[in-house]
Structure 1
Amino acid sequence: MTTYEIKVKTGDRFGAGTDANVEIVLLDGSKKQTKPAYLDNWFRNDFERNQLDVFTIVDETDIPEVTEIKLKRDQTGLFSDWFVDTIEVTNVTSGVSSLFPILRWIRPDVDIHFTIYDTFLPQYDPRPEQRNLEIKEKQMLYEYQVKRPGLPVQIKNLPDDEQFSDSHMWDLLTRKYTIMAGKTVEMIFGQTAWDTLEDMKSVFSNIFGNPLDMDVWHTDENFGCQRLNRVNSNLIRLCTSIPDKFGVTESMIAPFLEGFTLSEAIANNRVFITDLEILEGIDCQKGLHCTVPLCLFFVNGKGQLMPVAIQLYQQKGPDNPVFLPNDPPYTWIAAKMWYNLADCHYHQGVAHLGCTHLIMEGFWIAANRCLSPSHPVYKLLGPHCYALLAVNTRGFDALLRPGGYVDKTMALGSDGLSELMARGIGQWRMNMEGDYPEFLKQRGVYCRDGSILPTFYQRDDSLAIYDVIRSYVTDYVSLYYDTREKLLNDAEIQNFGQELFKPKSENGCGILGLPFENGRFTSVDELVVFLTSMIFTSSVVHAAVNFAQYDTYGYFPNYPPMLKGPPPKNK
Structure 2
Amino acid sequence: MVNYKVTVSTGYLAGATTLNNVFIKLVGTDGESERKWLMGIKGASSFMKGMVSCFTVCCPVSIGKLILIELSKQRLPLFPEDNWFPAKVEVQSPEGHTYNFPIYRWIADSEVHRFREGTALRVCDDSHHLGRYSRQQELSQREKDYCWNVYKEGIPHCMKAESPLSLPCEVRFSFTKTTEFIFTAATGLTELQIKGLSSCKKKWNSIDAINRVFCNKRTNISDYVQKHWKEDAFFGYQYLNGVNPILIRRCKALPDNFPVTDDMVFLRGKCSLANEMKKGNIFLCDYKQLDGVKTNTINGKKQYLMAPLVLLHKTPDDELMPIAIQLKQTPAEDNPIFLPTDTEYDWLTAKIFVRSADFNEHQLNVHLLRTHLLAEVFVVSLLRNVPMVHPLYKLLVSHTRYTLQINYLARASLISKTGVFTQFAASGGEGMITLLKRSLSSMTYTSLCIPDDIAERGLEHVPNFYYRDDGLKLWDIIHRFVQGVLSFYHKNDAEVQQNSELQKWISDIFEYGSLSQACTGIPQSFTTVAEMVKFVTMVIFTCSGQHSAVNTGQYDYGGWMPNTPLTLQLPPPTTKGTTSETTMLQTLPDINTTVKGMSTLWLLSKQSSDFVALGQYPEDHFSEKIPLKLIRDFQGELEVFSAVINVRNKSLDVPYTYMDPKVLENSVAI
TM-score (norm 1): 0.89
Partners of 2:391 and 2:517 in 1: CA distance: 22
Q: Does 2:399 correspond to 1:384? A: yes
* Residue of structure 1 equivalent to 2:55: 57
What amino acid does structure 1 have at the position aligned with 2:156? P
Q: Secondary structure at the match of 2:154?
A: coil
- The 1:136–1:91 alpha-carbon spacing in structure 2 relative to 1, beyond 3 Å, is closer
Higher mean C-alpha deviation, range 382-391 or range 73-82: 73-82
- What letter corresponds to residue 262 of structure 2 in structure 1? E
> Alpha-carbon deviations, 1:138-197, whole Å to 9, x = none?
111211111112111011125313222323201211222333343377436631111111
Residue deviations 1:263-320, cap 9 Å, x none? 1111100000011111111111231111110000000112111100000001111111
SS in 2 for 1:526: helix
Deviations 1:531-556 (A, max 9, x none): 01111111111111101101111000
CA distance in structure 2 between the partners assigned to 1:85 and 1:138 by the alignment: 19
RMSD of Structure 2 on Structure 1 (CA): 2.9
Distance in 1 (CA, whole Å) between partners of 2:466 and 2:267 is 27
| 1:334-373 map, 5 Å | 334-373=349-388
Distance 2:95 2:490 in 1: 36
User: Could you tell me how far 1:9 is from its partner in structure 2?
Assistant: 1.9
1:394 alignment partner in structure 2: 409
Q: Report how far residue 89 of structure 1 moved.
A: 4.5
- Identify if the C-alpha distance between structure 1 residues 440 and 74 changes in structure 2 by more than 3 Å, giving closer, same or farther: same
Cα distance in 2, alignment partners of residues 291 and 163 from structure 1: 39
Runs of 4+ with deviation above 6 angstroms: 32-35, 60-63, 90-94
Q: Which residue of structure 2 aligns with residue 121 of structure 1?
A: 122
Q: Residues of 2 paired with 1:190 and 1:379: CA distance?
A: 50
**Aligned residue in 2 for 1:85:** 87
**Larger mean Cα displacement after TM superposition, 201-210 or 325-334:** 201-210
Change in Cα spacing, 1:466 to 1:347, as seen in structure 2 (3 Å) is same
Residue equivalent to 1:104: 105
Q: Partner residue of 2:139?
A: 135
Q: In structure 2, the residue corresponding to 1:70 is in which secondary structure?
A: strand
Q: What SS does the corresponding residue of 1:381 show, helix, strand or coil?
A: helix
Q: CA offset at residue 75 of structure 1?
A: 3.9
1:458 deviates by 0.7
Partner of 1:479 in structure 2?
Answer: 488
* CA pair 45-442 structure 1, distance change in 2 beyond 3 A: same
CA deviations 1:360-413 (Å, max 9, x no partner) are: 212211111111011111121111121111100111121122232013321122
Take 1:386 and 1:511, find their aligned partners in 2: how far apart are those partners? 28
Q: How does 1:271-350 map to 2 (within 5 A)?
A: 271-286=282-297, 287-350=302-365
Range 287-296 or range 396-405, more displaced: 396-405
Contact 1:162-1:389 within 8 A present in 2 as well = yes
Within a 5 Å distance, the mapping from 1:149-228 to structure 2 comes to 149-157=153-161, 159-160=167-168, 161-183=170-192, 186-187=196-197, 190-209=200-219, 211=222, 212-228=224-240
Could you say what secondary structure the match of 1:100 adopts?
A: strand
Q: Deviations over 1:189-215 (max 9, x none)?
A: 631111111111232344544614111
Q: Does the 8 Å contact 2:340/2:347 carry over to 1?
A: yes
**Counterpart amino acid of 2:21?**
N
Deviation at 1:114, TM superposition (A): 2.7
Q: 1:428 to 1:109 in 2, by over 3 A?
A: same
Secondary structure of the residue aligned to 1:234 is: coil
Q: Does 1:403 align with 2:418?
A: yes
**Contact 1:399/1:414 (<8 A) preserved:** no
Question: 2:569 corresponds to which residue?
Answer: 564
Distance in 2 separating the partners of 1:554 and 1:59: 60
Deviations 1:231-268 (A, max 9, x none): 101110111111221131110101399x3221111110
Q: Describe the shift of the 1:92–1:57 C-alpha distance in structure 2 as closer, same or farther (beyond 3 A).
A: farther
Partner of 1:246 in structure 2? 258
1:483-526 Cα distance to aligned partner (Å, 9 max, x none): 3332222221122223223368xxx9536467676x33211111
Q: Deviations over 1:429-473 (max 9, x none)?
A: 22x22222222222222x2xxxx2112111111011011111111
1:455 aligns with 2:464: yes
Alignment CA distance shift 1:136-1:83 (3 Å)? farther
In the aligned structure 2, how far is the partner of 1:113 from the partner of 1:320? 65
Which residue, out of 241, 245, 250, partners 1:229?
A: 241
Q: Retained in 1: the 8 A contact 2:29–2:67?
A: no
Check conservation: 2:414, 2:421, Cα contact below 8 A: yes
Q: Does structure 2 conserve the Cα–Cα contact (< 8 Å) formed by 1:5 and 1:92?
A: no
Q: 3-state SS of the aligned residue for 2:10? A: strand
TM (norm. structure 2) is: 0.76
Provide the rounded CA distance (Å) in 1 between the counterparts of 2:153 and 2:546.
Answer: 25
- In the superposition, relative to structure 1, how do residues 409 and 25 fare at CA in structure 2: closer, same or farther (>3 Å)? same
Distance 1:256 1:128 in 2: 77
Aligned mates of 1:58, 1:494 — CA distance in 2? 41
Partner Cα distance (1:358, 1:298) in 2: 34
Which residue matches 1:44? 44
Once structures 1 and 2 are overlaid, which stretch shifts more, 140-149 or 85-94? 85-94
User: Any conservation in 2 of the 1:37–1:57 contact (CA below 8 Å)?
Assistant: no
CA contact (8 A) 1:516 1:526 kept: no
* 179-188 vs 150-159, greater mean Cα deviation: 179-188
What letter corresponds to residue 84 of structure 1 in structure 2? Answer: P
- The 2-side partners of 1:495 and 1:244 are apart by 44
Secondary structure of 2:225 counterpart = coil
> How many angstroms apart in 2 are the aligned matches of 1:557 and 1:434?
30
Q: Give the direction of change, closer, same or farther, for the CA distance of 1:243–1:89 in structure 2 (3 Å limit).
A: same
Instruction: Work out the CA distance in 2 between the residues paired with 1:21 and 1:463.
Output: 51
Does the Cα contact within 8 Å between 2:307 and 2:327 map onto a contact in 1? yes
> How many Å apart are 1:13 and its aligned residue?
8.1
Identity of aligned residues (%): 28
- 8 Å contact 1:3–1:56 — kept in the other structure? no
Any unmatched runs of 5+ in structure 1?
A: none
How far, CA to CA, are the matches of 1:180 and 1:88 in structure 2? 47
Question: Cα distance 1:46–1:414, how it changes in 2: closer, same or farther (>3 A)?
Answer: farther
Cα distance between partner residues in 2 of 1:419 and 1:256: 44
Structure 2: 5+ residue runs without aligned partners?
577-670
Q: Flag the 1:6–1:276 CA change in 2: closer, same or farther, 3 A.
A: same
Separation in 1 of the partners of 2:511 and 2:569? 44
Between the aligned partners of 1:515 and 1:421, the Cα distance in structure 2 is: 18
* Residue 465 of structure 1 pairs with residue 474 of structure 2: yes
